[in-house]
Structure 1
Amino acid sequence: MKWITDNVAWQRTLLGLALLGLSACGRSPESAAGGVAPPLRQDCRNISAERQPFFGDLHIHTTYSLDANTQGTVLKPADAYRFARGEALGLQPYDANGEPTRRAQLDRPLDFAAVTDHAELFGETQICTNADEPGYDSLECRFYRAQPDNAFVVFNLFGPGFTGIPKIPVPLPALSFLSQLSPLFGDGEQILRLPYCGLNGERCLQAARTPWRDMQAAAEAAYDRSSDCAFTSFVGYEYTAAPLSNNLHRNVIFASDVVPELPPSYIDYPAPEYLWAALDEQCRSVDGCDVLTIPHNSNLSAGLMFQTRDDRGRAYTAEFAAQRQRNEPLAEIYQHKGQSECLNTMGAGAQDELCGFEVMPYNNLTGDRFGGLNTGPPMEQDFLREALKEGLRQQATLGVNPFKYGFIGSTDTHLATSGNADERNFPGHAGAGLNPRDGITGLTDVIETSPGGLAVLWAEQNTREALFAAMQRREAYATSGNRPVLRFFGGWNLPTNLCARADLVTRGYADGVPMGADLPPAPGGSTAPRFAVSVLRDPHPSAGPLQRLQIIKGWVAADGSKQERVYDVAGRRDSSAGVDLDTCEPTGDPGFASLCSVWQDPEFDAAQGAFYYARAVENPSCRWATQQCVAAKVDCSAPDSVPEGFEDCCNADFPKTIQERAWSSPIWYDAARR
């Protein structure tokens, strides 16, 4: 397949990176470049009208995030971009001389990245970690530096933890100070911050400008505006909504260097719809500013991420559904805290054995803290496959689909190690995982977490404009950290012999639509849509061969019930491929270098709306923890010999192997357009 081979060859030729000047948010006079507009970028030498796959990470944390900072991360956004471009970084723990005791480096640089530090406590963290800031010697900051783990809990409670929780009204104006002292009091207007932030939090809001400007400066410096187009950076941040630890987080990605003076955070805008309104006012109303939000870890939202009522308990309207669809074209289907595709323990997902991949065993961010008192088992409605089906049901009622999501993956690293999603030599990601600040003994992360994945965007060239447009039209796919090249087209008249033709991509665009799009109305005489799906294995020596290629269909039946079916369209379902768990060497079926199929829906009903997405699966390989257990020569048959920190090597609740995979964004069929 020449088109795939050419794309892989192109990936291997990306060379060189440039550092350039900054123009910051709203071109404010305090920006690192003094408000001077950035240089115009040159045209890329490598442009393809048929688009190319660019691999990146849109979920990266550095020292500016409270959790990363309290875990000893000192690396800044500029370091995260250096790592993304292939440079090595030193990681905590640090020795007595302040030197890092660990190092990490990508085998292959990324094509793009966005640092997305938590916006909610930018100022609080900045004040407590910089001696020149007023408030550095406050009681709160002394507590922060002396007891960082406890400070993480307390600072989150007096801010994002209690934001959006109903308050006790203040009975008298003279007692209004209560709303500044306790999260239990207020009228919904006051914003609670720690006392050292000053009246209305002004001191912390002012301090927040420093990390926000540095994030912009780092993104601008990393962006290659030369004709090499070797690396693209985006200005972004994380909106960290988590009422009672139920995850409603979004990564906010800006199209250009024109961004708000401060990032709208959950403390100030305590529901996603208020965030979207703030972004309309502070970004989209400004010339040159555009933005989108990407929800992640719906698997940890305890039923909230895809609920069909707004913050005030009102059922979705067509206008609300359109607002959500416009702001959120993509969702993060896989990262450090597990996959959000489908649940293997109940409902339809229980019939799909591949839904058992990297499932977190609880339903919110509390996890196993506090003896599990604030959490429960994962919930089917929190997974994207179920949300896509609910979106079809909402569309039938409202005329608009609020859950029309394409897919990406990312890492959610809290070590500034952008795109470090390799199962081999995994140093952990900290954050919700293992705290590496004071040293690591044994496994480098908690057993239920993973290295996370990557985002892949199909675009003409590696520029902000082209990549952002790909995100908006959902021409994107997710991987579990590997780098296969996945194409997915749908149409009514795609040639049945397309896999044997050199013009697969040309005909896919000409006769159909790519991943992320809607099927056009069926022409006369068409009975069912056809889909062309093709994948080439990741060429890296450590990557495994392909096992099978699938198409997943979801629809809503005439009685309103939500349905799904998984079709194997290429490869070998009954493969004998396996892994020798003593050595992590592959066994059995050697798998495939490429797979392709043109498939027609055998049960198509023109009266039923539907979605279709592709899933490409590799042969089994050792999970990150198994590789570390093998390297440590752990012998579970002799429990007393298991070294400290390696006890989970013998934990039967977690699999020893994984099957790396890629998920295409869906293609939708709208029955109302037939």
Structure 2
Amino acid sequence: MLRLISVAALTLTTFPALAQLRPSAEDIAALPKTYSPYVERSTRSGGFAENLLWGDTHLHTSFSMDAGMIGTALGPADAYRFARGETVTSNTGQRVRAVRPLDFLVVADHAENLGVPLLLAEGDPDLLNTEYGRRFYDLIQSGDAYGAYDLWGREGMTQFTDVIDDADINRTTWDRQIEIAEEFNEPGVFTAMLGFEWTMSGTLEDPGNLHRVVVFRDGADKVSQVLPFSLFDGQDVEQLWAYMQGYEDATGGQVLAIPHNGNVSNGKMFAIERMNGEPINADYARMRMRWEPLVETTQIKGDSEAHPFLSPEDEFADYGTWDKADIGGIIPKKPEMLPHEYTRTALQIGLQQLGEIGENPFKMGQIGSSDSHTALSTTRDENFFGKMSSGEPSPDRHKSYVIQAFGGDESLSTFEYDVLASGLAAVWARENTREAIFDAMQRKEVYATTGTRITVRLFGGWDYAEEELYRPDVVEIGYDRGVPMGGDLPPAAQGANAPVFMVGAMKDAWSGNLDRIQIIKGWVDAGGQRQERIYDVAVSDRRKIGADGRATGPVGNTVDEAEATWTNTIGAPELRAVWKDPDFDPSLPAVYYARVLEIPTPTWQAYDEKRFGIKMEAESVPRSHQERAYTSPIWYTPEG
């Protein structure tokens, strides 16, 4: 003990000046600014979104009638466990695990008779005391689950009739779903956001997918004060918005809705008529953007970014194209429907409406999500567990129906081999909480991918410089002198004659290198006509960008389709660019977003053919594809 004391004393005696090096409180207070730059980032007005979070806002479990009645046994707890990275046993008894956990998940089961499949499996006496509850139960017990599902569809959904019509049953299952979400929600680690799906699909005579996922910012204390709003409560989306307004008024909470992929809506998702047939007006446009700031551009049921008919000069437009018919396989697709189904064209229609009614009804950010009905959010092609439980891995799964045409015309049916392993919602948020993720969605600082985790940043301003691309404070520069994806360009800087965009992308470490970054521009010309143009702004492998703004050649393809393999010997792990619009007209409104393409990689169909030793005979089966990301846009509006 004495020896230790003497050593300490010697140290203090040897270095007597050390105590004088500590700055005083007055010295610190006199400093011009906080030394740590990250303090000001987090507290400044608006803040910085530093965290890229990955999630799925559209996943169904056994609580949904069109899942739980026809083979999906996994419930919300299983969905959360899988999303958090655990190994689970699938609906067909196969062990499955994600390559990486998700950061957040919205279990968005259908509001229409929510949880009834679970109560049927449990033999709930209150449900069995209803006429249709007993009929469903008897059919299922006899081995005819699809008969029970068909009965519900024909006499319930397509007639807008709640065949159960018991509020107590609705309350029981909704409370159970909320309780499970609360159990798995862990702020800062994993976010279980509360939500449901409103499932308006039209009638057999007039079909169209107008589904919305409703997402709450809040927890059980507020969300449990309401029940999900179903098709049986109202068939007009404006009735859904009224429900949302009522929720906010009653609870002080916040809620938004996300329209689904428009490609199976038969021209209705982005129509310029209200659902009651009247033309949309400024009030409608403001209301739609108040409640629906985002759109689900890509998912299992096809990709809705662009269509080759609408974008004939876009060689990448024909990706995951579903254009046979509507959600029920009833009415064949007609060319005049297409402009009102695809996000790119809808953004341009929004600019037209801005000029005609004074408001933009389609000023939407973009996300992707799965719409899987297996409780498994599997968006990786080598790990894809299908759309429905019938589409889980097996040698014959590709032959299963996803949409069996109601009218019996098999050319309008869609099969598992047509589906995409898509997509994901990428969110630039300040932290992993319900509130921060919701706020990022509201400000549209989000983007879509078709299933891989490509990192993308996009900023728009008036004076970004090429040499700033690789500075360590490049993100701060992006925010300070412009706006991120989802924003409106600020007024032009002094002397600026065209907007400048700063964009960067980094590959998914588990997927293909990057082929290119593109800026997609849409505008309305002086005659009020929609226009679009694609610019390649960064390309890999030392290719050049020609005077027309396009890469001089394709990236190539290393995919061995027979072996379902590829190599990252082409492409780039990272691409960045500062791009100035060379065709800018300050008198015309415009919208810009970035599309990032990977090099070709195998599809889930190619993996199945290799693993099962099969051959899918359908001509439409793709065996390689280019995964991609779509950012939320940045808008330019002329002053005055």
Same fold flag (TM > 0.5) = yes
Residue 375 in structure 1 maps to residue 342 in structure 2: no
For residue 156 of structure 2, give the secondary structure of its aligned residue in structure 1. Answer: helix
Q: Deviations over 1:323-350 (max 9, x none)?
A: 0001011111111101110111x13x12
What is the identity, as a one-letter code, of the residue corresponding to 2:524?
V
Residue aligning to 2:603:
623
1:477 paired residue number: 447
Q: Residues 337 and 319 (structure 1 numbering): CA distance in 2 closer, same or farther, change over 3 Å?
A: same
Equivalence map 1:307-386=2 (5 Å): 307-344=271-308, 346-347=309-310, 349-367=311-329, 373-376=330-333, 379-381=337-339, 382-386=341-345
Secondary structure of the 1:92 match is coil
The one-letter amino acid of 1:554's match is G
Task: Report how far residue 656 of structure 1 moved.
Answer: 1.6
The residue matched to 1:427 in structure 2 has which SS? coil
**Cα distance between partner residues in 2 of 1:626 and 1:440:** 12
2:460 and 2:499 in contact (8 A); partners too = yes
1:410 is aligned to 2:369: yes
Write the deviation string for residues 496-527 of structure 1: whole angstroms up to 9, x where unpaired: 32223222101000001000000012133210
Q: Paired residue for 1:38?
A: none
Deviation at 1:261, TM superposition (A): 2.3
Partner Cα distance (1:591, 1:557) in 2? 36
Structure-2 residue corresponding to 1:585: 565
Q: Which amino acid aligns with 1:142?
A: D
| Number of the residue aligned with 1:303 | 267
TM-score (norm 2): 0.83
Whether contact under 8 Å (1:239, 1:250) holds in the other structure is yes
- Structure scoring higher RCO (CA < 8 A, sep ≥ 6) equals 1
- 1:652 counterpart residue number: 619
Are the aligned partners of 1:580 and 1:587 in contact in 2 as well (CA < 8 Å)? no
Aligned to 2:14: none
- Does 479-488 or 575-584 show the bigger shift? 575-584
Match 2:432 to one of 453, 462, 469 = 462
Distance in 1, matches of 2:81 and 2:338, equals 39
1:106 is matched by which residue type in structure 2?
Answer: A
Unmatched 5+ residue regions in structure 2?
1-38, 401-415, 541-550
1:453 aligns with 2:423: yes
1:377 Cα shift? 5.8
Contact kept? 2:285, 2:361, Cα under 8 Å: yes
Equivalent-residue separation in structure 2 for 1:55 and 1:405 (angstroms): 19
Residue 175 (structure 2) pairs with residue 213 (structure 1) = yes
Aligned equivalent of 1:518: 488
User: Which residue in the other structure is 1:108 paired with?
Assistant: 100
Q: Distance in 1 between matches of 2:99 and 2:470?
A: 33
Displacement, 1:465?
A: 1.2
Is 1:529 matched up with 2:494?
no
Distance 1:155 1:507, change over 3 A: same
Deviations 1:149-178 (A, max 9, x none): 122222123333233xxxxxxxxxxxxxxx
1:276, CA displacement in angstroms? 0.3
CA gap of 1:444–1:223, structure 2 versus 1, over 3 A, is farther
Structure 1: which 4+ aligned runs deviate by more than 6 Å? none
Residue 568 of structure 1 aligns with an amino acid whose one-letter code is: D
SS in 2 for 1:355: coil
Question: Offset at 1:360?
Answer: 1.3
Matches within 5 A, 1:65-214: 65-93=64-92, 100=93, 102-122=94-114, 124-125=116-117, 127-136=119-128, 138-146=134-142, 147-163=144-160, 192-194=161-163, 197=164, 201=165, 203=166, 205-214=167-176
Instruction: Name the CA distance, whole Å, in 1 between partners of 2:105 and 2:567.
Output: 36
Q: 1:85 to 1:247 in 2, by over 3 A?
A: same
SS in 2 for 1:134: helix
**Is 1:558–2:526 an aligned residue pair?**
yes
Residue identity in the other structure for 1:584: A
SS in 2 for 1:322: helix
Query: In structure 2, do the counterparts of structure 1 residues 239 and 442 end up closer, same or farther at CA, with 3 Å as the change threshold?
Result: closer
Matched, 1:425 2:383: yes
Deviates more, 1:350-359 or 1:601-610: 350-359
Task: Look up the match of 1:670.
Answer: 637
Distance 1:557 1:620 in 2: 35
Answer yes or no: is 1:611 the counterpart of 2:591: yes
Partner of 1:548: 516
User: 2:376–2:385: 8 Å Cα contact kept in structure 1?
Assistant: no
AA in 2 matched with 1:261: V
- Larger-gyration structure (1/2): 2
Deviation at 1:303, TM superposition (A): 0.8
Query: Which residue identity is paired with 1:468?
Result: F
Amino acid of the structure 1 residue aligned with 2:195: G
